[in-house]
Amino acid sequence: MSKIMFSVIAAIFLAGCQTTGTTWQATNKVDEFTDKQTKMVTVGEWPSANYLVTQSLKYYPFVGIQNDMIFVGIRSGGRYRVPTGTVQLRIDSSPTWTISPEETPVALSSSYPILQIQTMPEFANLQSQIMENMTKMMSPYTAATGEKAKKIIKEMMKGKVIKYRVVGANQAASTTGEVALNVSFIKALLLIGITRSFLN
């Protein structure tokens, strides 16, 4: 009985050791309807050769490129993803970055069908803006783009740890976390074409 118990404890300990190290992975996805290519570097619960395993009500940092747009932020995991809302990132002891849903490109949001409602011309722009804001608020991604994204990624390339949290929303989820910025992060960035010279 004691031998069996020892074996179980040893197995649990070894399994825990396998999940401690962070492995960043590069992914490449082409939308089957728009043909837009999205290359992304992110983490999961444990490394897998073919896909990333994530859990519902957990959040994961990511860096990516879609066409010529570069972005960085936080996404929710699992099969049924929750909206991320406003997030904060901090690399080592550098100042904290705050990213809001309003900054998130619509291209990263879930592809919900938007109904085309016949309305008066003067309300058409308002309707379009409302639908866009709703899409961003419901997105399982929150991301910064442009120069802000480049500055954050540069810090990540020099840093050792990224800490993150979701601010004021989805409190049922695990709202804080941290991930090591190790060699696998730099290697994964190279696979999707992000280098220091690319960010200058």
Instruction: Kindly state the tokens that stand for 99.
Output: 């990213």
Which pLDDT does position 167 carry in this prediction?
87
Q: Which residues of the chain have pLDDT under 50?
A: 1-21, 111-115, 170
Instruction: Kindly state the tokens that stand for 122.
Output: 């003067």
Which pLDDT does position 52 carry in this prediction?
76
CA 136 to CA 70: how far, in whole Å? 17
Q: Is the CB of residue 87 less than 8 Å from the CB of residue 166?
A: yes
Half-sphere exposure of 15 (CA within 13 A, CB side): 7
The whole-model pTM stands at 0.77
Single-letter amino acid, residue 106: V
Which pLDDT does position 107 carry in this prediction?
77
Which pLDDT does position 53 carry in this prediction?
81
Which pLDDT does position 6 carry in this prediction?
38
Which pLDDT does position 131 carry in this prediction?
57
Which pLDDT does position 188 carry in this prediction?
96
Which pLDDT does position 12 carry in this prediction?
35
Please state, in angstroms and as integers, the Cα–Cα distance from residue 69 to each residue in 139, 194, 195, 197, following that order: 18, 12, 15, 16
